[in-house]
Chains A and B, each alone.
Chain A
Amino acid sequence: MIRRLFRALGPQYDRTLRRLLGLLVVAALLQGAAFVVLVPALRELLGDEPARAWPWVIGLAVLWIGYAVVNPLATLAGFRTGAGLSRDLHHRIGDKVAQLPLAWFTADRVGGLGRLASQRILDVMGVPAHLLRQLVDATVMPLVVVLAMAVFDWRLAVAMAVAGVVVAVVYRVASRGLAAADHEADRIHADAAGRIVEFARAQPVLRAFGRTVDGHAVLDEALAAQHRAGRRILRAGLSGVVGLGFVAQASFVVMLALGTYLVLGGSLGAAELVALLVLAVRFVEPVMLTAELGGALRVAGNALQEINSLLATETLDEPERSARPNGSSVELRDVHFSYGDSPVLTGLSMEVPAGRLTALVGASGAGKTTVVKLIARFFDPAAGAVRVGGADVRELRTEDLTALISVVFQDVYLFEGSILDNIRVGRPEATDEQVYAAARTARVDDIAERLPGGWHAPVGEAGSRLSGGERQRISIARALLKDTPIVLFDEATAALDADNEHALHAAMTALARDRTVLVIAHRLHTLQAADHIVVLAGGRCVEQGRHDDLLARNGRYAHYWRERRRARGWRLQRPDGPESALHKGFRAGDLVPE
C-alpha cells in the first residue's frame, strides 16, 4: 500500500511522505509509551506507598505534552500531503491524458477516466489524511505493548507475541480470501451494470416487443447473480472479520487465564497483572479497528493501482520540433495497419492531391475510417508512412498537425453547452461575427431558429437534442471556423430528410471550396462531383480515377455504383406471390377490411 503510494506520487514526494510517516510513528510511540507508564504507576498505587506513583504520573504528563505537540503536526502533515497528492495526481493524469493518442479515447475509457480523476483521487487523498494514521497505530502500538510486556513479565509477553503473529496470519488469510471474492463480485457487478444500461438504452425495443411487461429476464438473472455473489463475499468477509475478532479476543482470554494462573501460583504480583491486562486491552483495540479498515484500504489500494496503470500507458512519440510541411497534399505510402490480429490495411498507397476533392469508397470494414484516423494521427501505422505536405505525420507535433487538419466525423461529439459554444471550440479566439458567419454558411441558423433559446439553446448531453444531420452541420461549422487547408470528412450514411440533406449538402459544398478534402463518400452525388476517387478493397487501393473513367472501366467501382443506384434506400412493395410459410399461422380474419 505504502509502496504504491510512493510510486503514484513520484520521487519528489519521497521526503514529504517519509516525514509524514515519521511523525505518525512518533505519535504512535508516544501513545504506546503513555500506556506502558500505567503499569508501574498502578503497581505503586496498589502497593504500600501510593505516593511513589507521582513520578510516573509526571512522566505520563510529559509524554502527554509530547503527544499533544506531535499529533496535530502529524494530522496537519497528513492534510498537506493529501492536498499535494490531489494536486499532483490531477496534474500527472492531465499531462498523461494530453499525450495519449486519440485512438485511446473510447467511450468506456473516457467514462473510467472521469471516475479516476474525481472519485479515485478523493479515495487516495484519504490515505495520508486518515488511513495512514490508523495503519501506523495498528502496527506500532501492539509492538510497543509487547516490548513493554517483556520488561515486566516475559511469559505474558511471549503469549502476546504469539497472539500477535496469529492475528497477523489470520488477517492475511482473511483479506486474501476477501480480495478474491471481491474480484469476482466486481465482475458480476459490472455485468449487472451493463445489463441495466442495456435495459435503459434498449427500452424502446424491449417495449415494442413486450419484454417489460413481466420484467426483463436477462436483467433479472444478472441482478440475482449479483445477489448471490454478495452472499458469497459476505460469507468470506464476515468469517474473516469474526475470525479476526475471535482471535483477538481469545488472545485476551488466554492472557487473562495465564495471568490469573501465574498470580495464584505466586510468581506474578496481582498489581502487575492488572496493569498488564489494562495494557492488553490497548493491544486488542487497534487490531479490531484494522479489521474494519480493511475495506477502505482495499478501495484506496485499487484506486492507486488504477492511477499507476494509467500513468504507465504508452503514448505516441512526439518530436522536439516539427518538420515543415510544404503544401496541403496528403499521401499514404505502403501503409500497413491492423486492429489486434485482424489486418485492415495491407500496403495501401494513395494520394489526396492538394485543393481537390478526393472520395474514398469501399465496403464496410474496408478501412475507410482507418485511413482518416491515420492521417489525423489517432494512431500510427505498423509499417509505411503517412505524409501531410510531404512531411511524415510522426515528425509533426500534435498542435502543428491539428492546425492543418479538420475532421468531421459521423458521430459528432458535442459538449453540453450552447450551439455557439460548440462551434467556437473550432477557434476559441474567434470573434462573434466569425462564429455567426461560419454557422450561417453551415446552415446552422436553421437549427437555431427551430430551438427555443436560439443560438444559446443548450444542445443537451452529447448533443441529444439534435438530430444526426444537425450535429454534423455544427461540426462542419466548427471546421469552417477553424479554417484549415485540409478537411477529412466522414459523410453521414444515415438517411436524412430532404431539408436536412439539402442543408448538409450546401454546408459541405462551402467547406470543400478551395481546400484539400478527403471524403468517405456514401452519397451518389458526392461521387459524381469528386475530382478523384479511391476504391479500397482487401486493405489496398484497387482502383482510382475520375467517376466517368472508372465507370467506363467497368470494374469494381462500376459494380458498386450500379448497386447503389439500384438500392438507394428501401422501397416497400407488396409481394404478389403466395404468402411465405411463416404467414400461414396468421389470423386471416384480422386482415379482412371491416
Chain B
Amino acid sequence: MFRNSTGVVGLGDLLQPVRRRLGLAITLQAAAAVVAVVPLAAVAELARVLLAAGPIDHDRAWQVAGIAAGALIGWLALSGVASALAHHADLDFQLSVRRRLVRHLGRVPLGWFTDRGAGAIGKAVQHDVDTMHHLVAHAALSLTSSVITPVVTLVYLFTVDWRMALILLIPITAGVAVFVRLAMTMESQTAAFDEAQQRIAGRVVEFVEGIAVVKLFGQARRAHAQYGQAADDFARFFLAWVSKGYRASAVSELLLSPVTVLLAVLVGGTAMVTSGRLAATELLPFAILGLGLASPLQALHYYSHDAEKASVAAKRVGSLLAAPVLEVARDPRRPVGARVELAAVQYAYDAGRPVLNGIDLVLEPGTVTALVGASGSGKTTLAKLLPRFFDPVSGWVAIGGVDVREIAPAELYRLVSFVLQDVQLLDASVRDNIRLARPDADDETVRRAARAAAIDERIRALPLGYDAVVGRDVRLSGGEAQRVSIARAILADTPIVVLDEATAHADAESEALIQDALSELAAGRTVLVVAHRLASVVGADRIVVLHEGRIVEQGRHEELLTAGGPYARLWELQEDHVGAGAAVGSGEGR
C-alpha cells in the first residue's frame, strides 16, 4: 500500500529551488576572490613606482593607489552581494525544506509518528534544517574563495620571481603535508572522539531525564556518582585525544602561520638581494601577498567540521522525506451513502504479528456498533482504519460502496470524524479548536456546536470567551477538554463518527455533561465506539467482541449475556469488580 520513493531524498534534490541563485552567488564569489588579489598587487606596484630611480611619476602613483582603492571596494561589493544572495537563498531553502517536510509528514501513515515521537520530529524539522545553514550559506562560497585566491596569488608571484615563489612554498608545503598526514591518521581518532561525545551525552540524558525518578527512590547519590564518573572520563579522554595529534598539529600550525612565512621570505629574500640575484623591489610582492597565502587553508579546516555536521543533518532530513506515504487515488470515486463495510481485513504493525486478522464487519447507517475486548485485542486499530490513519495489509475498508483508498482525502474527512481517547487541543483559540474541521464556520455555528456539547456556558464565562487561547488564557479540565473535542466533532457534522471511549479524566459533574454531549453527537449517525468499559455500551445496537485480532462474538447486550460466551465472562469480571465492597486493603486485620 505504501509507495516507496527511490530511497533517501538527496541534497541536490532539496537544493533544487535555490540552485540558480546559489550558482550566481558562487560566480560572484569567484570574481571577488580574483579581485581580492588586486589591491595587494597594486601596493607592490606602488612601491615600484615610488622607489623607481629618478623623479617620482606622481600621476602613475595616484593611478595605482586609485586602482588599489577601487579593487578593495569592488571586492567588498562582490563578496557582500554573493554572501547576501547565498544567505537569502538559504532562508528560502530552509522554508521550502520545512514546508516540504510538513507536507510529507501529513501524508505518512499515523503509525510512523508513534515510532518516532514528536520531539524527534521537531528536532529534524527545526534543528537539522538549521544545521544545514552552513552548507548552503557558507560552504560553497568559502571553498570558492579559499581555492581561487591562493591560486591567483601564486600565479602572480611566480610571474614576479619563480625562485622566491618556491622559497615561499617551502614552509607552506611542509605545513600542508604534516596536516594531511595528521588528518589521515586522525580520521579513526575522530570517530573515537564522536563516540566519547555520544557516551557522555547518553549519560547526561540518562542522568537528567531519570533524575526525578531517581531522586524519588533515593538513588540520587549513586546516579550522580555515575554521571560524575562519565564527566571525568570524558575530560580525560579529551586530553589524551588532543595530546595524540597535538605535536603534529602544533608543527603544522606553526609552519602555516604568517610569522613562519615571513621568516622564510625575509631570510631567502635578504640572501638573494645581498647576493644581487634579486631587485629589492621584487621582494615586496612576497612580503605583502605571501603572508596571507596560508590563512584560507586554516579557515577551510575550521569550517570542515561544520560542513560535516551539515551533511549528516541533510541525510537525516532526506531520510524523513523518504518515509513512505499513504497513496492517494488519482481518479477518486464518490461514495454513495454512509454504509461502512470491512472485508477480510488484516493489519500488522510488525510483519508476522497480525493485530487484525480476517475482520468482516458491516456498520449499517444510523446504528451504534461497539467494539469491546481486552487491551491488545485490536479494537482501537480497527477503528483507526475508517479515517484511514493507516491502510490494511490485505482486505479492504469501504464507505458508501467505495474503498477508502479510492476516496479523495477531503471527501473522506467530510464523511468520517474521530473523537480520540486522549483529547488533543491545539494551542489556538477555543473557537479555532472547535471549528478545526471547518475553519470558515461562523460564530453562530461554533456556538451551536458548543451548546450541544454542553461547553458553551463555560467558554462564555471566560474573560476572553471564544477567543481565549487554550493553554495560555485558559486551562481546561479533562472533562471540559473532552467536551470541546466533542463540539469539534458535532461541528464537523459527518455522517460517520468513530468514538474511542474517552478515558475519564473527568470529575463527576463533568461526566454527566459528557454523557449528554456524546448522546447529542451520536444522534442519527453511524457510530463506531471503542469501549473500554462495558457499562458504557450496553445500549448499543450491536456489540462486537474482539479477541487477538478476530471477531469472536457479536450481538446485543442481552443476547450476549444469555449466550454465556466471552462477553458474558468480561461482563462478570467487571461487574464483580466494581460491585464488590471487598477491595483494597480488606482483610489482614484492618
Cα distance A42–B533 in the bound complex, in angstroms: 95
The one of B91, B263, B364, B366 in contact with A64, judged by C-beta atoms closer than 8 angstroms, is B263
Pick from B174-182, B269-277, B311-319, B458-466 the stretch touching chain A: B269-277
- The answer to whether the Cβ of A552 comes within 8 Å of any Cβ in the partner chain is no
Q: Is the CB of B583 within 8 A of A528?
A: yes
Within the complex, the shortest CB–CB distance from B203 to chain A, in Å, comes to: 9
Residues in A whose Cβ lies below 8 Å from that of B297? none
Within the complex, the shortest CB–CB distance from B322 to chain A, in Å, comes to: 17
Contact A223-B413, Cβ < 8 Å, known A41-B266, A567-B512, A575-B523: no
- The answer to whether the Cβ of A68 comes within 8 Å of any Cβ in the partner chain is yes
Chain B residue, CB-CB nearest to A264? B58
Residues in B whose Cβ lies below 8 Å from that of A216? 102, 106
In chain B, positions 211-248 with a C-beta closer than 8 Å to chain A are 211-222, 224, 227-228, 230-232, 234-236, 238-239, 242-243, 246
Contact with B along A551-577 (1 / 0, CB 8 A): 000000000100110111111111100
The one of B58, B204, B495 in contact with A118, judged by C-beta atoms closer than 8 angstroms, is B204
Cα distance A498–B452 in the bound complex, in angstroms: 31
The one of B69, B424, B520 in contact with A202, judged by C-beta atoms closer than 8 angstroms, is B424
- The answer to whether the Cβ of B118 comes within 8 Å of any Cβ in the partner chain is yes
Q: Is the CB of A86 within 8 A of B259?
A: no
In chain B, positions 492-547 with a C-beta closer than 8 Å to chain A are 492-493, 495, 501-509, 511-512, 514-515, 518-520, 522-527, 529, 532-540
Q: Is the CB of A196 within 8 A of B122?
A: yes
Cα distance A474–B240 in the bound complex, in angstroms: 43
In chain B, positions 37-77 with a C-beta closer than 8 Å to chain A are 39-40, 43, 46-47, 50-51, 56, 58, 61-62, 65, 68-69, 72-73, 75-76
Within the complex, the shortest CB–CB distance from A339 to chain B, in Å, comes to: 11
Within the complex, the shortest CB–CB distance from A515 to chain B, in Å, comes to: 9
21 pairs of residues in contact across A and B, judged by CB atoms under 8 Å: A38-B262, A61-B267, A80-B239, A118-B200, A122-B197, A200-B105, A223-B98, A260-B50, A274-B50, A282-B258, A403-B218, A497-B373, A497-B533, A514-B588, A529-B583, A529-B585, A530-B584, A573-B515, A573-B519, A575-B520, A593-B365
Pick from B9-17, B148-156, B183-191, B574-582 the stretch touching chain A: B574-582
Cα distance A394–B356 in the bound complex, in angstroms: 55
The one of A50, A79, A407 in contact with B273, judged by C-beta atoms closer than 8 angstroms, is A50
- The answer to whether the Cβ of A432 comes within 8 Å of any Cβ in the partner chain is no
Q: Is the CB of A529 within 8 A of B584?
A: yes
Q: Is the CB of A500 within 8 A of B375?
A: yes
In chain B, positions 560-584 with a C-beta closer than 8 Å to chain A are 570, 573-574, 577-578, 580-584
Cα distance A60–B220 in the bound complex, in angstroms: 59
Interface size range on B against A: 35 or more
Cα distance A226–B525 in the bound complex, in angstroms: 43
Chain B residue, CB-CB nearest to A82? B238
Cα distance A399–B106 in the bound complex, in angstroms: 48
Within the complex, the shortest CB–CB distance from B252 to chain A, in Å, comes to: 11
The one of A46, A207, A210, A570 in contact with B518, judged by C-beta atoms closer than 8 angstroms, is A570
The one of B250, B417, B437 in contact with A71, judged by C-beta atoms closer than 8 angstroms, is B250
Within the complex, the shortest CB–CB distance from A470 to chain B, in Å, comes to: 8
Within the complex, the shortest CB–CB distance from A74 to chain B, in Å, comes to: 10
Contact with A along B402-426 (1 / 0, CB 8 A): 0000000110111011101000101
- The answer to whether the Cβ of B348 comes within 8 Å of any Cβ in the partner chain is no
Cα distance A98–B537 in the bound complex, in angstroms: 49
Interface size range on A against B: 35 or more
Q: Is the CB of B217 within 8 A of A571?
A: no
Cα distance A413–B212 in the bound complex, in angstroms: 9
In chain A, positions 224-249 with a C-beta closer than 8 Å to chain B are 224, 226-227, 230-231, 234, 238, 241-242, 245-246, 249
Q: Is the CB of A593 within 8 A of B364?
A: yes
Residues in A whose Cβ lies below 8 Å from that of B295? 285
Q: Is the CB of A571 within 8 A of B281?
A: no
The one of A54, A117, A195, A260 in contact with B270, judged by C-beta atoms closer than 8 angstroms, is A54
Q: Which of A277, A564, A572 has the most CB of B within 10 A?
A: A572
Pick from A145-153, A301-309, A357-365 the stretch touching chain B: A357-365
Residues in A whose Cβ lies below 8 Å from that of B581? 525, 528-529
For the complex of A and B, 5 pairs with smallest distance between CB atoms: A210-B413, A212-B106, A563-B508, A90-B231, A402-B218
Residues in A whose Cβ lies below 8 Å from that of B539? 571-574
Residues in B whose Cβ lies below 8 Å from that of A509? 583-586
Within the complex, the shortest CB–CB distance from B389 to chain A, in Å, comes to: 6
Q: Is the CB of A193 within 8 A of B50?
A: no
Cα distance A274–B376 in the bound complex, in angstroms: 85
Given contacts A90-B235, A249-B73, 20 further A-B contacts (CB under 8 A): A31-B258, A57-B266, A71-B253, A76-B246, A83-B236, A102-B216, A118-B201, A199-B105, A234-B87, A238-B83, A257-B65, A356-B590, A493-B504, A494-B503, A525-B580, A530-B585, A572-B518, A575-B520, A579-B524, A590-B365
